[in-house]
Each structure stands twice: as structure tokens, then as C-alpha cells.
Amino acid sequence: MPTALAPTKHSFATRLAHIGLALAVLTQLGTSQVMEPVEPGSAGNAFFTLHEYAGLAAFAFVLGFWMAATFRRRGTAWGLLLPWFSGARLAALWADSKAHLGSLTRFRIPVYDAQSPLASAVHGLGLLLMTAMAGTGTVYYAINAGNPDAGGLVGLVMFVHTSLANLVWAYLIGHGTLALIHHFTQNLDLREMWSLSRDGTTGGSAN
Ligand code: HEM
Ligand code: HEM
């Protein structure tokens, strides 16, 4: 399997975008439980204002993530995050998925690999999901007239936004839980991905 980029640490730009995006998404899920959107007869509440501004920040961080993934010199290769356009990548994803399933049916934690085709493909889908959420929210912010239930384009982007909302919960729970399991089984060190030092907590250099 060709890997264009070094398989080791995440670059500073990747870590910065990841921390910002993860914190923004946590804010979005939290506020979505208590907010009252602006609509005819209701001025909305402060949690909705926070949802709007943290959502716009999420949009900036998700764009930053795409930029970091495009221009970084080390980290996960694009072809691993988005394997859907290459037969060789899809074959590797299928083989890795079968290996993971084999481990799980033997009640074993799958072997950790930072360049796993399955994990990377799921990370890529997560990035696409957050892009869709932040993108539809931002379009809503730009064109709405104070009513998320309005028809037309406002209705369409809010339909997509609310339809994908439960997938965001699923991604956060699945990805966060696996990260914690791998941290406590010493497969990775969470402090590396969550570090804002230029070279990462665990040493080495980043671009
Ligand atoms: C819902 C918000 C989140 C999103 C959208 C997200 C997205 C991503 C993406 C796209 C990657 C792959 C980065 C790359 O390879 O370039 C990644 C890696 C990672 N994430 Fe998250 N993440 C989120 C929340 C979290 C949380 C809450 C944790 C910790 C509990 C976490 C821990 C990690 C770790 C440790 C890695 C590196 C995995 C490795 O190197 O093998 N993430 N995340
Ligand atoms: C990654 C970014 C975002 C995430 C994860 C997110 C998440 C959510 C969630 C979970 C809901 C509740 C859906 C439901 O219960 O049916 C929601 C609703 C909503 N969001 Fe976002 N959001 C994001 C960005 C934005 C942005 C940027 C805006 C606008 C500036 C926005 C505006 C709204 C509105 C107006 C609703 C209410 C829709 C309704 O109840 O009619 N969101 N969002």
C-alpha cells in the first residue's frame, strides 16, 4: 500500500484544527440540548446564540483541518482518509475491516495501527460529517430570516442539518471511546493529539 506521508506524529496544524473542531462540536451537541432557536414569536435564547457562534468557529476549524491535511508533510495520507476512489485503497480497507471483525469475534481489542485503513476511513467520514454540519449551519446563518422551519433553501439545509445530528453523537461516542481505550491500553498517548506544543508532548518534530 503506497503511503505518501510519514506515518508518525500529527503536525501542529492538524492538532490545532483537531482540538478546535472537537471542542466546537462538544459545544454544539451540548447547546443543541437546551437551545431555543429564533423563530416567529420567540427571540431564541443565549444557548442558541452560542450554538451559532461556536458553529461558525467549527466551520473555520473544519476548513483548517482540510488545509492542514492538504499541505502537511507528515500525518495521515489523503488516500487513507478518503479511500473511496482507489481500488487498491478499497481492497486494503476491506482486508483491515475483516481483520478488525476477526479480532472482535475473538473478544480481542484489534491491533492498534495509526495508519489503519479502517480507522483512517472512519476519521475521513467524520471530517465529511462535520463539514456537512458546519456547512449547512453556516449557509442557514447567511440566508435565514429568523425561522429554521421556513421552506426553500433554509428548509433544505436545516433538514440535512437535523437529519445528520444523531450521526455526530455516534461519531463522538465511538471515536472518543476508542481513543480512550487505546490510551489506557497504552497503544497511543492522548496527550500527543491534544498537545499544542510545536513538536507534540511525546517528542519528535512536526511541520
Ligand atoms: C467530535 C469531535 C471530533 C472530531 C470531528 C475528530 C476528528 C478526528 C480526525 C479527522 C482524526 C484523524 C486525524 C488525522 O489522521 O489527520 C482524529 C484523530 C484523533 N482523535 Fe479525534 N475527533 C474528535 C474528537 C476527539 C476526542 C473527544 C478525542 C479524545 C477522547 C479524540 C482523540 C483523537 C486521537 C487520539 C486521534 C489520533 C488517532 C491516531 O493517531 O491514531 N478526538 N480525530
Ligand atoms: C459542526 C457544527 C455543528 C454541529 C455539530 C451542530 C449540531 C446541531 C444539533 C445536534 C442540532 C439539534 C438537531 C435536532 O435536535 O434536531 C442542531 C440544530 C440547529 N443548528 Fe446546529 N450544529 C452545527 C453548526 C451550526 C451552525 C454553524 C449554525 C448556524 C449558525 C447552526 C444552527 C442550527 C439551528 C438553527 C438548529 C435548530 C434547527 C431546528 O430545531 O429547527 N448549527 N445543530
Confidence of residue 2 (pLDDT cuts 50, 70, 90): very low
Q: What span, in angstroms and rounded, lies between the C-alpha atoms of 18 and 24?
A: 10
Confidence of residue 201 (pLDDT cuts 50, 70, 90): low
Distance 31 CA to ligand 2 centre (A): 9
Residues forming beta bridges with residue 6, ordered by sequence position: 74
pLDDT of 100-116, one tens digit each? 999 999 988 888 888 89
Full-model pTM: 0.92
What's the CATH number for 12-78+86-193? 1.20.950
Distance 110 CA to ligand 2 centre (A): 34
Q: What span, in angstroms and rounded, lies between the C-alpha atoms of 58 and 180?
A: 23
Residue of 18, 23, 32 best suited for mutating to test ligand 2, as the one with most atoms within 8 Å of CB: 32
pLDDT of 10-52, one tens digit each? 999 999 999 999 999 999 999 999 999 888 777 789 999 999 9
Does the beta carbon of 28 sit less than 6 angstroms from any atom of ligand 2?
yes
DSSP notation for 166-202: HHHHHHHHHHHHHHHHHHHTTSS-HHHHT--STT-TT
> What mean pLDDT comes out for the span 118-140?
97
Provide the pLDDT for residue 3.
37
- Half-sphere exposure (Cβ direction) of 51: Cα atoms closer than 13 Å: 21
- Determine contact, residues 29/168, Cβ cutoff 8 Å: yes
> What mean pLDDT comes out for the span 193-203?
75
Q: What are the angstrom distances between the C-alpha of 115 and each of 2, 102, 111, 166, 188? A: 11, 19, 11, 27, 12
Does the beta carbon of 38 sit less than 6 angstroms from any atom of ligand 2?
no
Q: What are the angstrom distances between the C-alpha of 126 and each of 40, 81, 83, 106, 132? A: 34, 10, 14, 27, 10
Confidence of residue 146 (pLDDT cuts 50, 70, 90): confident
pLDDT at 207 over 70: no
Q: Nearest residue CA, atom 10 of ligand 2?
A: 165
Nearest-atom number in ligand 2 for the CA of 29 is: 10
